[in-house]
Amino acid sequence: MMSLIPGPDDLFLFHEGSLYQSYRLLGAHFIENEGKAGVRFAVWAPHALEIRVIGDFNNWNGSLHQMSKVSIWGVWSLFIPDVQEGEYYKYEIVNAQGITALKADPYAFYSELKPGTASRVCSLENYQWQDGAWFKQKETQSVYNRPLNIYEVHMGTWKKKQDGEYYTYRELADELIDYVVDMGYTHLELLPLAEHPYDRSWGYQATGYYSVTSRFGTPQDFMYFVDRCHLRGIGVIMDWVPGHFVKDEHGLRQFDGEPLYEYNDPSKAEKPQWGTLMFDFTKPEVSSFLISNALFWMDKFHIDGLRVDAVASLLSLNLGRPDGERITNEHGGDENPEAVEFLKRLNTTIFAHYPHALMMAEDSSNWPKVTTPVHDGGLGFNFKWNMGWMNDMLKYVEIDPYFRRGSHNLLTFSFMYTFNENFVLPLSHDEVVHGKKSLLNKMPGDYWQKFANLRLLLGYMIGHPGKKLLFMGSEFGQFDEWKDLEDLDWEMLDYDSHRSMKHYVRDLNHLYLKEQSLWELDHQPEGFSWIDADNSSQSITTFMRKSSDPDDFLIIICNFTPVVHEQYRIGVPLSGEYSEIFNSDMPAYGGSGQVNMGKLKIEMISWHDQPYSLKLTIPPLAVVVLKPVKTHRKASTTKKERG
């Protein structure tokens, strides 16, 4: 049972930086004191002269409830009897200069609906979870050699009601989860759900790190959403933002009248790129706050993993800074050593508590060993977004197909480093907003070619080693870029091209789930080999994806021009027959129908450094997937021809 006053052991660990469930120490918690039910409030504010709790329960009159300092390092506490679930409150903090400010609780579990800024008293203890089987299943499976295909969603704009109101967590638990399951995704990734004041920040500038946003319902409603995801076999990843926070007056900025959660040095605290403040990783209490928060979403909401936002901005002191404002560390370098140590401690702690968690770094830097364990000299994440692949591919597909031959290296360069880290291939929200255009509208050519190019890009992504992520709307070819105040253009599904695009992505995703060679050896060189990487003149690549079974592999051919190639010869490793199991040019997908029917028989002609070869039709702007039907041992002698 929770004590009336925070215990000395917990206080010591909090101030040491290693109280990793500090949300049990601080914030508002229901307790009993001498038979009287009420709430214990506790807050860290070492520079405050006086702190009072104000709220519904005292008509917002702070003189009735003054807090007492219970640690010499600045934790304050107060028990107030008869406080009820859902009541609003704030801290009235008097700073050392006698100036009073009203602050929301940094550890609040629930917040007032925007534009209100108060915290709400809330218990998280009464939800009855039903997802035990989900967690038992995760214990038996490696995250590395299982399919991982992520649908990235902003809950406020995936779909809205006719009157413009948001769908609630419980309503989304029906409609969104059904959609994700039908489309063949394995995981949902949710843009930040921590409470935030401004819709167009998308959640990336938070004020309530422990408070799931009230825009869509209560914390228990969100628990229900996650529970339903798990019952349907869908994992849940949340964007998490440990690098910076918003400057709104009711939030963390100068919380007790002095820089507290941010660096004391303004030049280091300021994040000019976003107009935010950076967390001060030299303060042990900030580490306790942030690492506890990462665990909190897993402890209380059963989140399966975190996509850690803007890791490059943590590693570098100067990312986004103008040249005239650059700063250095004590050794004269660009690195932020305390942020590096924070990330290592974060990942070590998460995996100690949740060995099967997903910890994904959104990192655009060249920092080495991002997905190497900390004990082996790495940062300790288990996945990293492959920003290089994303940038190269989007640059390539925006080139007119007739000129792509001059940029063939953009297609193939990623294979030089694809096994250096455990990569996720992201086509995320950042690439379809702020004038960058939607994926479909990035594509060159006429209307038909735009859809064909998008089908090709997504097919190439499924074939490329690495886990997958696609932002909502791209699966049906949203023509406009993401409008972050409106829902997706679902009405486009009234048109054949968009409906066919959705059909294509659904079938592509289910192909991915079915074919072990597309994911089992994603992070091992043995899972991939080139057949032909060098056909720049025709902008065609041919490669294999392999599973641990030597007879189980796929051959993937991608044609990045609108030219049809008949009787196109490719090398194959085994004898027997092959069949076309997938073709993005099928009429059902909006294609021209250049498909390969029946069995494709090999010839005893070596080609592309393979002992056998076969001929097939290569459709325009399309991806073709072949699979062996019947294989035999490699022949000892073959007719030699040059490929």
Half-sphere exposure (Cβ direction) of 586: Cα atoms closer than 13 Å: 18
Q: Where in the chain are all domains bearing CATH 2.60.40.10?
A: 8-120
> Any catalytic annotation for residue 309?
yes
| Concatenated DSSP letters of 480-500 | SPP-TTS---GGGGGSHHHHH
CA distances from 346 to 10, 25, 214, 239, 452 (A): 19, 19, 27, 15, 43
Q: What are 278's two structure tokens? A: 């950076």
What is the rounded distance in angstroms from the CA atom of residue 495 to the CA atom of residue 497? 6
> Any catalytic annotation for residue 522?
no
Q: Where in the chain are all domains bearing CATH 2.60.40.1180?
A: 387-419+437-469+486-643
What is the rounded distance in angstroms from the CA atom of residue 588 to the CA atom of residue 585? 8
Q: What are 384's two structure tokens? A: 């990293």
Q: With contact defined as beta carbons under 8 Å apart, do 383 and 360 qualify?
A: yes
Out of 3.30.9.10, 3.40.930.10, 2.60.40.10, 2.30.110.10, select the CATH number for domain 8-120: 2.60.40.10
Identify the pLDDT of residue 642.
Answer: 38
Q: What are 439's two structure tokens? A: 């994926």
In 3D, which of 564, 565, 515 has the Cα closest to residue 544?
515
Candidate list 112, 262, 309, 392, residue with the active-site label: 309
Identify the pLDDT of residue 630.
Answer: 63
460 burial (CB, 10 Å; 0-12 / 13-18 / 19+) is buried
pLDDT along the chain (643 residues), means of 10: 81 95 97 93 97 97 94 95 97 96 98 97 96 95 95 97 95 96 98 94 95 98 98 98 95 97 93 92 97 98 98 91 84 92 98 97 96 97 97 98 96 96 97 95 97 98 98 97 95 97 98 98 97 97 97 97 97 96 98 96 96 98 94 45 42
Identify the pLDDT of residue 141.
Answer: 87
Q: With contact defined as beta carbons under 8 Å apart, do 172 and 160 qualify?
A: no
Candidate list 362, 421, 515, 585, residue with the active-site label: 362
Determine how many CB atoms are found less than 10 A away from the CB of residue 187: 23
Q: What angle do CA 167, 173, 179 make, to 5 degrees?
A: 95
In 3D, which of 224, 366, 249 has the Cα closest to residue 302?
224
Identify the pLDDT of residue 123.
Answer: 97
User: Is 387-419+437-469+486-643 a domain of CATH 2.60.40.1180?
Assistant: yes
Q: With contact defined as beta carbons under 8 Å apart, do 297 and 208 qualify?
A: no
Identify the pLDDT of residue 321.
Answer: 82
Query: How many residues comprise the chain?
Result: 643
**Residue 588 backbone phi and psi in degrees, to 5:** -65, -25
